[in-house]
Structure 1
Amino acid sequence: MTCEACRTLPVVISTGYSPKGSYEKLAGLEVYVTGPRDAKIGLIDVYDIFGMASQTIQGADILASELNAIVLVPDFLKGEAAKNEWVPPNTDEKMQLLMKFVTEKASIPENTQALLDVAKEAKETFPTVNAWGTVGLCWGGKVVALISGAGTPFVATGQVHPGRMEKADAEKITVPHIVLASKDEPAEAVAEYKEVIEKNGTDGYVETYANMHHGWMGARANLEDEENKKEYLRAYTQLSDFFKKHLK
């Protein structure tokens, strides 16, 4: 379903952040919208299975500010995100609940189509945007990887602390693609991605944040920890620089 770290590391409950954007309906989903509505570039942020975590929303606000972009965070899971108490799934009951959720609510094929639906409607809703990109966190990274091939509506794409990395996905990517991995993703899978992405002529990039845990940019980000906060901000700036380069 995801990497081992995603199944075992606890979520961090973050408080005190005031979102800069607002919510509206798009393609039948509640969507967090942040940034100028007349922006020239747009980004769709696909969260991890813990949904609209404060740290993910804050990251979207950072991307909107640094890119001067409209950034959308659709609630693909429709308010039914994975529960913090399921992790780690150290009982049969927890494992059953988590697997049922992943199978029924967090279906990769269904949410891949949902992302394409959001992208289509976003183009109509925000007509000033000349180029759209998308980035996914963990589970969301798998969704993004699968729509980064031929015929994608996105000019550039990316994954952070990605889940379920497969070389076959990387081989189908046809647009600039960035991967920011943590120390907890399988090193061999990251290396295979890196080899493919950096040699396929699409100007992709892969880096491992060797001192960061899985989820340091999403629901597992501990922004009260000085090192995590520093690397969180550095990584979001790195994403911004990548998309700034390619979304024109």
Structure 2
Amino acid sequence: MGSEACCRIPPVSADYTPLGTWDTVADFKAYIAKSPTATPSPKRGLLFLYDAFGFAPQTLQGADRLAALLGDDAVVILPDLLEGTHPEFGWLPADTPEKQALVKAWFDSVGDYKQSKPKLLRARRAAGARFPSVASWGVFGLCWGGKPAVLASGADNAGEGRRINVSGTAHPGALDKADAEALSVPHIVLASKDEPADVVAQYKEILEGQSGKTGIVETYSTMNHGWMGIRAKLDVEDNRKEYERGYKQVADFFNKHL
């Protein structure tokens, strides 16, 4: 199941006019973002994975922001790995047995993390074929999307049409020390105050202190779970600033390693 915080905090919404384009990648509906002055043949690619609620205005704005911050040689692709099947807003907070059953059923079916990694790798292969000029691919996920991002960056991360060069997540769901230990690429984790602090500390010890690992782990201690995704409160100044800082920090990390 996803993080406890994900199941108890209601989502929010924001108005945003997307700048990117819609297309299809591996039969997944996909949002494609580029810098306004992007080259026609990008050299770097980023697969951006939304949280469980899909193509929210805040997430599309994040994709556009990442594309702008990564620069003219990059393309950002946001594939609909959940194929339009998302938890309903009314299920959250999951504060009744009925709501808890609905959330569990979703995570046991379409939201199952065991299905997410193969879907991500299918999108990765298709993205590589669509943009053959891209020499280096990264993956970054919010909450639900953070799990396939880290799973795909483990020991089996090799091969043409498969290789991921750098990965990361913000307010991640289903954090597991074993995933951090298996990482084979640079990885960034931006946690909120709602993630389990003990597991975040384990990630930090592994990625920032273990030989052979490269990474950044930072907790945005004043931010709620989802502050860079659908729960971003962009009409609140502190959240807006931390949203902007978070995407800048992610882009800086990917610019360094991608």
Match in the other structure for 1:25 = 24
Distance between the aligned counterparts of 1:200 and 1:60, measured in 2?
A: 32
| CA-CA distance at 1:74 after TM superposition | 0.6
**Which of 58, 72, 93 pairs up with 1:88?**
93
**Which of 212, 232, 246 pairs up with 1:201?**
212
| CA-CA distance at 1:231 after TM superposition | 0.3
| CA-CA distance at 1:142 after TM superposition | 1.1
- Count of residue pairs the alignment pairs up: 246
Distance between the aligned counterparts of 1:171 and 1:200, measured in 2?
A: 11
| CA-CA distance at 1:151 after TM superposition | 3.4
Distance between the aligned counterparts of 1:149 and 1:91, measured in 2?
A: 37
| CA-CA distance at 1:200 after TM superposition | 3.8
Equivalent positions of 1:1-248 (< 5 A) are 1-15=1-15, 17-35=16-34, 36=38, 37-68=40-71, 69-152=74-157, 153-198=163-208, 199-247=210-258
Distance between the aligned counterparts of 1:243 and 1:232, measured in 2?
A: 17
Distance between the aligned counterparts of 1:133 and 1:44, measured in 2?
A: 6
- Partner SS for 2:206: helix
* More displaced 10-residue stretch of structure 1: 166-175 or 197-206: 197-206
| CA-CA distance at 1:58 after TM superposition | 0.4
- Partner SS for 2:132: coil
Distance between the aligned counterparts of 1:94 and 1:166, measured in 2?
A: 25
- Partner SS for 1:42: strand
Alpha-carbon displacement from aligned partner over 1:138-168 (angstroms, at most 9, x marks no partner): 1111111111112321100001101111111
Distance between the aligned counterparts of 1:98 and 1:151, measured in 2?
A: 30
| CA-CA distance at 1:82 after TM superposition | 1.3
* More displaced 10-residue stretch of structure 1: 91-100 or 101-110: 91-100
With structure 1 as the length reference, what TM-score do the two structures score? 0.96
- Partner SS for 2:48: strand
- Partner SS for 2:108: helix
Distance between the aligned counterparts of 1:242 and 1:174, measured in 2?
A: 16
Read off the aligned partner of 2:78 and give its amino acid letter: V
| CA-CA distance at 1:80 after TM superposition | 1.4
| CA-CA distance at 1:216 after TM superposition | 0.2
Alpha-carbon displacement from aligned partner over 1:70-115 (angstroms, at most 9, x marks no partner): 0011111111111111100122222222111111111111111000
Distance between the aligned counterparts of 2:48 and 2:192, measured in 1?
A: 18
Read off the aligned partner of 1:192 and give its amino acid letter: Q
Distance of aligned partners of 1:200 and 1:31 in 2 relative to their CA distance in 1, 3 Å threshold: farther
Distance between the aligned counterparts of 2:44 and 2:255, measured in 1?
A: 9
- Partner SS for 1:34: strand
- Partner SS for 1:113: helix
Q: How many percent of aligned residue pairs carry the same amino acid?
A: 47
- Partner SS for 2:212: coil
| CA-CA distance at 1:202 after TM superposition | 3.0
| CA-CA distance at 1:203 after TM superposition | 2.0
Distance between the aligned counterparts of 1:189 and 1:40, measured in 2?
A: 35
With structure 2 as the length reference, what TM-score do the two structures score? 0.93
- When the two chains are superposed, the root-mean-square deviation of aligned CA atoms in Å is 1.1
Distance between the aligned counterparts of 1:217 and 1:60, measured in 2?
A: 11
Alpha-carbon displacement from aligned partner over 1:190-225 (angstroms, at most 9, x marks no partner): 000111111242321111011111000001000000
